[in-house]
Amino acid sequence: MSAAIIAEGVGKNYRTIAALKTVSFSVEAGQVLAIIGPNGAGKTTLFKVLTGEVLPSHGTVRFGDVDVSRMPAHARAARGFGRTFQVARVFQNSTALDNVVVAIEARQRTAGNSPARWYQFRASQSVIAEADQALAAIGLADKRDVEARFLSHGDKKRLEMALTLALRPGVLMLDEPTAGMSPTDRNQTVELLTRIRKETGATMLLTEHDMDVVFGLADRVMVLNYGELVAIGTPAEIRANKAVRELYLGEEVDHA
């Protein structure tokens, strides 16, 4: 299988500060890579460079065979990746249903195959049906007509996941998907992600602080510190890695 994401020598400088030095790694299609490291290690910067929120100062990023290093975020998203944010970004003033409808229509527009006729201004029935299905799949069917700003934090994250999945992405980039969640929500999220992985075979890249989540989901784990790659390998390898233990794992207090 060809690699879904390849980063070569990627670096990002903010004026005089090198947030990312030179990071190279690849993720195979269908795999899950978790990025961990202390705060300030450059995880978010790496994320931004991969998703196109920020352009790298040097190095290349490839999705499959395509060099996307200089591509803006929306173009990369149109190529089939979804991105979730640490603090869920959804359309606050729209209902949960409308949120998903917009995402579905976006996918259709990108693919160029909208089922609705040009003069229709309401969302077509098939789109709404799909949106309803999507909401039911993540357990938000009863919140269908609630405006997103009234949803709880956990619900917003689930809604964001529904939006992202509506794009039918080949690659999912999740920025701290369980940040700020209660243990129950956290478990549900892990279950959800496992299910998505099984059902869609999507490649996943996530940053996380919760080690249980990381070791439960990831095929491989990458450790960053001071903008550099410290170690990359299977969870077992990382757990056994002395440098990583000293740097990060050893200092962690068990999450409740």
Partner 1 sequence: MNAVSGTRTALAIAAGALLLATLPAWTTPAIVFLVGLVLIDSIFALSWNLLFGFTGLTTFGHAAFFAFGSYATGVALKMQAPIHFLLLLVVVALLGALFSALVGAVVLRRTAGIALAILTMALGEILHIIIGYSNVLGREDGISGIPRPVIDLLVAKVDLQAGNSYYWFLCLVCSLVAGALCWLTFGRFGRVLRSIQQDAERTAFLGMNVARYRLASFTIAGGVAALAGALYAPWVQTITPELSDTFRSAQPMLNALLGGAQSFWGPVVGTAVFAVVNFSMRTLPGLAELVVGVILLIIILVAPTGLMGLLGKLAWRMPGKLSPRRALGKLPRCRKKAIP
Question: 63 or 248, CB closer to partner 1?
Answer: 63
Provide, for the chain, the percentages of residues in helix, strand and coil under a 3-state DSSP scheme, each rounded to the nearest 5. 40, 25, 35
Identify the burial level of 26 via C-beta atoms within 10 angstroms of its C-beta, where 0-12 means exposed, 13-18 middle and 19 or more buried. middle
When binding is defined by CB under 8 A, the residue of 54, 96, 97, 196 that contacts partner 1 is: 97
Assign 250 to helix, strand or coil. Answer: helix
Residue 232: enclosing H or E segment and its boundaries?
strand 228-233
Considering the rule CB under 8 A, would residue 94 count as an interface residue with partner 1? Answer: yes
Assign 83 to helix, strand or coil. Answer: strand
Considering the rule CB under 8 A, would residue 73 count as an interface residue with partner 1? Answer: yes
Considering the rule CB under 8 A, would residue 100 count as an interface residue with partner 1? Answer: no
Residues 216 to 255 in contact with partner 1, rule: CB under 8 A: none
Considering the rule CB under 8 A, would residue 93 count as an interface residue with partner 1? Answer: yes
Q: Which stretch binds partner 1 (CB under 8 A): 20-28, 70-78, 234-242, 244-252?
A: 70-78
Inter-CA distances, 25 with 56, 103, 243, 244, 254, Å: 15, 30, 19, 17, 29
The distance of closest approach from Cβ of residue 106 to partner 1 in the complex, given in angstroms and rounded to an integer, is: 4
- DSSP lists the bridge partners of residue 23 as 10
Q: Which stretch binds partner 1 (CB under 8 A): 3-11, 27-35, 93-101, 242-250?
A: 93-101
Residue 18: enclosing H or E segment and its boundaries?
strand 17-28
Considering the rule CB under 8 A, would residue 136 count as an interface residue with partner 1? Answer: no
When binding is defined by CB under 8 A, the residue of 8, 28, 53, 185 that contacts partner 1 is: 53
Sites of contact with partner 1 (CB under 8 A): 51, 53, 72-75, 77-78, 82-83, 89-95, 97-98, 101-103, 105-107, 109-110, 114, 116, 119-123, 125, 128, 163, 167
